[in-house]
Amino acid sequence: MQDEPSDIEELFSHTREFVESKAELWKLKTVDSLSDIVSTLASRLGIILILSIFLFIISTGAALLIGEWLGKNFYGFFIIGSLYGIAGIICYINRNRWMKTSVCNMIIRELLK
């Protein structure tokens, strides 16, 4: 005659299955969140790369144009370089507010989604 499982054994069995299912669900949610974060960052980096190339070409043209107006090409490059230096200082001063906070908020939003 076969022993039928007792209520406690059945409860342990269901609890073990529940914990295993919960762990698997947690793994899948983590993978989903990380893939969202990586794909978002990759697409943003691609856009930043394209905009950087565009800005480089426009800056070179503007530097040459300003240099032609002033009589020496290197004057235009000094002026454009100075503008980028000032913009860099402003970005450095506001780096926490503009960059760190927005990236952290994006990662948190993706993880809690």
pLDDT at 1: 44
Q: What is the largest CA-CA distance in the chain?
A: 106
For the whole model, what pTM was predicted?
Answer: 0.64
Residues 89-111 have pLDDT tens digits of 998 998 888 777 877 787 777 77
Identify the burial level of 4 via C-beta atoms within 10 angstroms of its C-beta, where 0-12 means exposed, 13-18 middle and 19 or more buried: exposed
- What DSSP element (H or E) covers 64? helix 7-70
For residue 37, pLDDT over 90 is answered with no
Residues 80 and 66 sit within 8 Å (Cβ to Cβ): yes
Residues 102 and 109 sit within 8 Å (Cβ to Cβ): no
Residue 9 pLDDT level (bands cut at 50, 70, 90): confident
Q: What's the whole-number mean pLDDT along residues 76-87?
A: 95
